[in-house]
């Protein structure tokens, strides 16, 4: 297997490990993949404009706006108009939205933790060393 193939396989396996162990709990939240991504993005950046979200996701402002509208309708995201320039709208999580993200993190990490439970102590030690090495170059 080539180096590039190995890297791709590692990336895909890490992504699979981050999926929740219990999909029924994940689906209870009732949000699309795009909506989940935007919630995580707003959680990380605290405040964004639709233009920034669209650029980051590589989608049109219209598409980003549609997803944000669904999230605001659910009470998860708040739009705040800039008083100095009413054309500028800042998006941020509501308290309810922050609670959903906290739940999502719990499910996501539960999936990863359950997969790590299957490793031996030696394997966990090796993985910890490799993860620390990877994290040090980020």
Residuewise pLDDT in 10s, the chain (138 residues): 888 888 888 888 887 776 665 555 666 778 887 888 889 899 989 899 999 999 988 889 999 999 999 999 999 999 999 889 888 889 999 999 999 999 887 777 777 788 888 889 999 999 999 988 988 876
pTM over 0.85: no
Q: In terms of Cα–Cα distance, which of 71, 64, 62, 61 is closest to 92?
A: 71
Q: How far, CA to CA in Å, does 109 sit from each of 56, 84, 105, 115, 117?
A: 24, 41, 6, 10, 12
- In angstroms, what CA-CA distances link 32 with 28, 37, 81? 11, 9, 26
Q: Token pair for residue 116?
A: 């790590």
Contact 82, 88 (CB under 8 A): yes
Cβ within 8 Å of residue 78, ≥6 positions away: 72, 91, 92, 93, 94, 97
Q: Are 53 and 38 in contact (CB under 8 A)?
A: yes
pLDDT at 24: 59
């Amino acid at each position: 297997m080539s180096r590039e193939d190995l890297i791709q396989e590692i990336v895909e396996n890490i992504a699979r490990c981050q999926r929740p162990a219990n999909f029924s709990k994940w689906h209870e939240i009732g949000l699309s993949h795009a909506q989940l991504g935007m919630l995580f993005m707003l959680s990380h950046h605290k405040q964004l404009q639709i233009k920034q979200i669209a650029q980051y996701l590589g989608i049109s402002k219209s598409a980003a706006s549609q997803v944000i509208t669904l999230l605001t309708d659910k009470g998860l995201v708040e739009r705040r108009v800039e008083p100095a320039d009413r054309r500028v709208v800042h998006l941020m999580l509501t308290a309810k939205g922050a609670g959903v993200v906290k739940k999502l993190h719990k499910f996501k990490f539960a999936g990863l933790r359950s997969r790590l439970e299957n490793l031996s102590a030696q394997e966990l030690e090796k993985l910890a060393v490799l993860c620390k090495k990877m994290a040090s170059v980020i």
